[in-house]
Amino acid sequence: MDAGQLLASTIDGLIIGLVYGVAAMGLTLIFGVMNVINLAHGAIIMLGMFGVYLLFQTVGLNPYLAIILVAVAGLVVGLIMYVVAVHRVINAPPLSSLLSTFAVNMMIIGLATTAFSTTPRNVNYSLGTLEAGPVVITNSRFAASAAVILVTAGLYLFLYRTRPGKQIRAVANNRQAAELMGIPSTRVLAFSFGLGTMLAAVAGGLIATLFSFTVLSGSTYEVKSFVIVVLGGLGNPLGALIGGIILGIMEGIIPVFISVTWVTVIEFLLFVLILVVRPQGLLGARH
């Protein structure tokens, strides 16, 4: 085994895992606040990918600046999705919200397939590479990890240092009590859903700077997000980030020892193992 290759794969996996963590944060934030599993999560990630791609290809906008516009668009799309598909079933049985968000997912993918087909796309924007002995990593990966750190820090400050963030945490903890305290829960829920879709769109934009993608790519990262939130703990954004890092490092290290085809198998074995041994996840609270 080449120690240099192992080190390079670990660093690369760590960086990719940070991006996975942001994707999972959006999913776990929505679940933590309103107990809704958003099955349109992968479609939103895909829209983030194509948003950055189109802004880069048609306008020539720097892809990292384009992510800011994609984030705003993701927030707006999330608010619309909440009003149209989620608000009416927020207090219904869980299956209702699952079917509602799944319907939105299929509509988005169908429209995107009609508009863009399933041809692979990629954002041809290079920041060069960094070489340190046997370790060779593209600077775009470091740029993506820096963006993840900024997004995570911003989310933490928003949730714990601002009034709207404290309202979101209050509604997540006890919606009825929050309403008695004068917190407008409907607006908080709508904004929370928008914030979750914004994080998914940002993750999609960052992924577009690292890998090629199609209109069907979002489903792959949606599945990874489910593994991550179960690993880190449903409803825990910090747990999602840690779970993403663990998954990313696994994806980096496993191919060094065995065939890359085993990566998905081992990920789902871990998924099942966590559900059996610690269903609340690594950082989830026991109910």
Q: How far apart are the first and last CA of the chain?
A: 44
| Of residues 257 and 122, more confidently modeled | 122
Quote the pLDDT of residue 54: 95
In which band, very low, low, confident or very high, does the pLDDT at 230 lie, cut at 50, 70 and 90?
confident
- Dist. CA 43–CA 199, nearest whole Å: 13
pLDDT digits (tens, 9 = 90+) for 167-178: 999 998 888 899
Residue 131, strand partner residues: 136
Q: Which two tokens stand for residue 262?
A: 């085993």
Q: Which two tokens stand for residue 163?
A: 């009034």
| Of residues 186 and 262, more confidently modeled | 186
- Whole-model pTM: value is 0.91
pLDDT digits (tens, 9 = 90+) for 4-19: 677 778 888 888 899 9
Q: Are 83 and 179 in contact (CB under 8 A)?
A: no
Quote the pLDDT of residue 279: 74
Q: For all residues of the chain together, what is the average pLDDT? A: 88
Q: Which two tokens stand for residue 198?
A: 């914004």
pLDDT for residue 111 is more than 70? yes
- Domain limits of the chain? 3-277
CB hemisphere CA count around 62 (13 angstroms): 6
Domain 3-277 fold is ABC transporter involved in vitamin B12 uptake, BtuC (1.10.3470)
Quote the pLDDT of residue 73: 96
- Number of helical (H) and strand (E) elements in the chain, helices listed first: 11, 2
- Dist. CA 282–CA 140, nearest whole Å: 30
**What's the mean pLDDT in 75-96?**
91
Quote the pLDDT of residue 4: 67
- Dist. CA 18–CA 241, nearest whole Å: 6
- Dist. CA 53–CA 121, nearest whole Å: 8
**DSSP characters for 160-181?**
HHSHHHHHHHHHHH-HHHHHHT
- Dist. CA 21–CA 238, nearest whole Å: 9
